[in-house]
């Protein structure tokens, strides 16, 4: 199955406010990601040391800090957290399995067809 790619154009550079927001998020996203996933790994000095040496984050951050405008109607999917979840679930999976996902607070996606229990927010 071939998935058509939408047309897009690059927009101008970020404003100073947007640059500050991206830098702040980039600095905190790995820690926030682990905390939101309920992991206590950030309390481990060895893990923190390895995270600081992990240069795989640099290209992910660079690719996320550009603005584009879609010229065709399209459905977009976003990775939440530090980006690894998006790479694993969207890039290496069958794209048709990602159709109809809904963002859930805390960095999770769920199928649109999945009903929530009464009273769930």
Q: How much of the chain, in percent, has pLDDT values that exceed 70?
A: 7
Contact 107, 85 (CB under 8 A): yes
Contact 108, 117 (CB under 8 A): no
pLDDT band at residue 27 using 50, 70 and 90 as cut-offs: low
SS3 for 52? helix
Whole-prediction pTM: 0.27
Q: At what angle do helices 16-36 and 57-64 cross, to 10 degrees?
A: 130
Which pLDDT tens digit goes with each residue over 41-64?
455 565 556 556 665 554 554 555
Q: How much of the chain, in percent, has pLDDT values that exceed 90?
A: 0
Which pLDDT tens digit goes with each residue over 71-101?
777 666 555 544 444 444 444 455 555 555 5
């Amino acid at each position: 199955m071939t998935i058509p790619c939408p047309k897009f154009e690059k927009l101008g550079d970020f404003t100073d406010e947007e640059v500050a927001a991206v830098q702040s998020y980039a600095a905190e996203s790995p820690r926030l990601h682990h905390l939101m996933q309920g992991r206590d790994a950030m309390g481990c000095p060895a893990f923190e040391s390895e995270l600081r040496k992990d240069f795989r984050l640099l290209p992910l951050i660079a690719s996320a800090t550009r603005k584009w405008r879609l010229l065709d109607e399209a459905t977009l999917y976003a990775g939440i957290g530090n980006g690894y979840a998006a790479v694993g679930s969207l890039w290496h999976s069958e794209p048709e399995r990602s159709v109809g996902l809904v963002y859930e607070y805390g960095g999770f996606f769920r199928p649109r067809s999945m009903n929530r229990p009464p009273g769930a927010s």
